[in-house]
C-alpha cells in the first residue's frame, strides 16, 4: 500500500466530532476541574455516548473498533482541550487491551460487552508502591486455591481506580520465576478483599482520578485469568506496545494547544513597537516548537500505522511516546516563556499545559525506560 498522509473523509469526520466535543464539553470545564481536582463524570458519560471511549474494543463487542491511527487523531483533539480528561477517557482502552489481546472469546464477550452497552470505567493495575519501572519484579501474589486464585498486594497510581468497576490486575504465582510467574486477572471491583486508598492530589492532569487499590485475599475465579499462568508479563508489554502510541498523541494535543496559545499571544502582544512575534528571539522559539510538534505527530502516526498493519511496534511506540512527551514539555515551557510573567499565572492557560504534559514523561513507562527499550530493540538488529 502506498504511503499517504491524506486523511480519509471518515477520519476527518472523526477528528471533527472529537474537536467539537473537546471545544464544547471539555474546554469550558478544564480550568475548574484543574483547580478543584473534580472528576467530571458528565464529560466522560457524554464521551461514551458519542463513541469516543472504548476506541479499541472491536465492533463485534459494541466498541468503536477503530484503527490505532484513528484513535490517535481523536486523542490529539481531546488532549488539546484537557490532558487530564483525555487520560481518564483513554484509561478504558489501556485496561481493556489485555482482554482484547489475551482474553478467550468467552472472556471478551463477558468483559468487553458491558463496557459498550453502558457507561463504565476500568483500570489497568500493574504498578506497585515498591516499583513501577521494573514491572517484572512486582510483588502482588496470586495463590491458586481450587478453581480460584487469592490475590494479595497493592497497586498504586491507578488511573480511574475510584470510579472503575473492573481492574486488570497483574500478579505473580511464583516470585522466584520473576517475569515467568506474572499472570493477568480480571478483578471486578465488588470482589470482597478489594479496597481503595485515598485519591492522589496531583501536580497536573487533575481532572483524572488516581488511587491505590489494595487486594487482601481477593478471590478471583479461574475463568477470570487472562491466558495461562506466567503469560501476564508479555501481555502487559504487548498492551503497552499499542497504548504508548496514544500517549504520544495525547502529548501532541497538549503541545499543540500550547503552541497555538503562544502564537496568538506573540502576534497580539507588542514590545519595542512591534508584535513580539517579529522579534527573532520569539520567532526562533516558535520555529523550533513547530518542528517538534510536527515531528511528534508524524512519529505517533508511524507507530500507529505499524500497529494497524499488524507489525510489532515496540521501538516505534516508545519513540513516539518519549519524543512527543519530551517535546510537549519543551513546547509548554517555551510557551510560558513567550507569555512572560502572564504565562506563570493561573489566569492564563499555559501553566496548566506544562503541568499536564509532565505526566506524559512518567506514566505508561517513564521516558528513561522508553530509551532503554528503544536502545535494546535497536541493538537487536546488530546481533
Shortest distance, position 181 Cβ to ligand CAA, whole Å: 11
Q: Which stretch binds ligand CAA (CB under 6 A): 87-95, 114-122, 213-221, 300-308?
A: 87-95
- From 238, 308, 333, 340, residue interacting with ligand CAA (rule: CB under 6 A): 238
**Over the range 275-294, which residues count as b (16 or more CB within 10 Å of their CB) and which as e?**
ebbeeeebeebbeebeebbe
Looking at the Cβ atoms of 69 and 126, the one nearer to ligand CAA is 126
CB-based burial of residue 35 (10 Å sphere; 0-12 exposed, 13-18 middle, 19+ buried)?
Answer: exposed
Of 295, 355, 353, 349, residue with least CA distance to 324: 295
Q: Does 237 bind ligand CAA (CB under 6 A)?
A: yes
Shortest distance, position 241 Cβ to ligand CAA, whole Å: 5
Per the CB < 8 A criterion, the answer to whether 197 and 125 are in contact is no
DSSP 115-178: HHHS---EEEE--BTTBSS-GGG---EEEEETTEEEEEEEEEEEETTTT-SEEEEEEES-GGGG
Q: Which of the residues are catalytic? A: 364
Q: Which of residues 281-320 bind ligand CAA (CB under 6 A)?
A: 314
CA distance 218 to 155: 13
Shortest distance, position 363 Cβ to ligand CAA, whole Å: 4
- From 86, 88, 159, 303, residue interacting with ligand CAA (rule: CB under 6 A): 159
Q: What cell does 75 get?
A: 486523542
Q: Does 122 bind ligand CAA (CB under 6 A)?
A: no
- From 44, 111, 115, 124, residue interacting with ligand CAA (rule: CB under 6 A): 124
Helix (H) or strand (E) holding 198: strand 194-199
Cα dihedral: 76, 243, 292, 282 (round 10): 50
Shortest distance, position 32 Cβ to ligand CAA, whole Å: 22
Q: Does 226 bind ligand CAA (CB under 6 A)?
A: no
Q: Does 53 bind ligand CAA (CB under 6 A)?
A: no
Q: Does 196 bind ligand CAA (CB under 6 A)?
A: no
Q: Which stretch binds ligand CAA (CB under 6 A): 61-69, 129-137, 198-206, 341-349?
A: 129-137
Residue number closest to ligand CAA, CB atom: 365
Shortest distance, position 269 Cβ to ligand CAA, whole Å: 36
Helix ranges (H only) for the chain are 9-21, 27-36, 41-49, 68-79, 83-102, 105-117, 232-268, 280-308, 314-339, 350-360, 367-380
- From 234, 275, 295, 298, residue interacting with ligand CAA (rule: CB under 6 A): 234
Interface residues with ligand CAA (CB under 6 A) are: 87, 91, 94, 124, 126-127, 132-136, 157, 159, 179, 233-234, 237-238, 240-241, 314, 363-365, 369, 373
Amino acid at each position: 500500500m502506498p504511503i499517504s498522509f491524506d486523511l480519509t473523509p471518515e477520519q476527518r469526520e472523526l477528528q471533527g466530532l472529537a474537536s467539537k466535543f473537546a471545544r464544547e464539553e471539555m474546554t469550558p470545564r478544564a480550568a475548574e476541574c484543574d483547580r478543584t481536582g473534580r472528576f467530571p463524570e458528565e464529560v466522560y458519560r457524554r464521551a461514551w455516548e458519542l463513541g469516543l471511549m472504548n476506541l479499541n474494543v472491536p465492533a463485534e463487542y459494541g466498541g468503536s473498533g477503530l484503527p490505532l491511527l484513528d484513535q490517535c487523531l481523536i486523542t490529539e483533539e481531546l488532549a488539546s482541550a484537557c490532558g487530564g480528561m483525555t487520560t481518564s477517557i483513554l484509561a478504558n482502552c489501556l485496561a481493556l487491551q489485555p482482554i482484547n489481546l489475551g482474553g478467550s472469546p468467552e472472556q471478551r464477550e463477558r468483559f468487553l460487552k458491558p463496557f459498550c452497552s453502558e457507561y463504565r470505567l476500568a483500570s489497568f493495575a500493574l504498578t506497585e508502591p515498591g516499583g513501577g519501572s521494573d514491572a517484572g519484579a512486582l510483588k502482588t501474589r496470586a495463590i491458586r486455591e481450587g478453581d480460584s486464585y487469592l490475590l494479595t498486594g497493592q497497586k498504586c497510581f491507578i488511573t480511574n481506580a475510584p470510579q472503575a468497576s473492573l481492574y486488570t490486575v497483574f500478579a505473580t504465582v511464583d516470585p522466584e520465576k520473576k517475569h515467568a510467574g506474572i499472570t493477568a486477572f480480571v478483578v471486578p471491583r465488588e470482589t470482597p478483599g478489594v479496597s481503595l486508598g485515598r485519591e492522589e492530589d496531583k501536580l497536573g492532569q487533575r481532572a483524572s482520578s488516581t488511587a491505590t487499590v489494595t487486594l487482601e485475599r481477593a478471590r478471583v475465579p479461574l475463568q477470570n485469568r487472562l491466558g495461562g499462568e506466567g503469560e501476564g508479563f508479555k501481555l502487559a508489554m504487548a498492551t503497552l506496545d499499542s497504548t504508548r502510541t496514544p500517549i504520544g498523541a495525547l502529548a501532541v494535543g497538549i503541545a499543540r494547544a500550547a503552541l497555538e496559545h503562544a502564537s496568538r499571544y506573540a502576534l497580539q502582544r507588542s514590545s519595542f513597537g512591534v508584535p513580539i512575534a517579529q522579534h527573532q528571539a520569539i520567532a526562533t522559539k516558535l520555529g523550533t516548537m513547530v518542528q517538534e510538534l510536527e515531528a511528534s505527530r508524524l512519529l505517533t502516526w508511524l507507530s500507529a500505522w505499524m500497529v494497524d498493519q499488524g507489525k510489532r511496534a515496540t521501538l516505534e511506540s516508545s519513540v513516539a511516546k518519549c519524543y512527543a512527551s519530551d517535546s510537549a514539555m519543551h513546547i509548554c515551557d517555551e510557551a510560558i516563556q513567550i507569555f512572560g510573567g502572564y504565562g506563570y499565572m493561573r489566569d492564563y492557560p499555559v501553566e496548566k499545559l506544562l503541568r499536564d504534559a509532565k505526566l506524559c514523561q512518567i506514566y505508561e513507562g517513564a521516558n528513561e525506560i522508553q530509551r532503554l527499550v528503544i536502545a535494546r530493540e535497536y541493538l537487536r538488529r546488530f546481533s
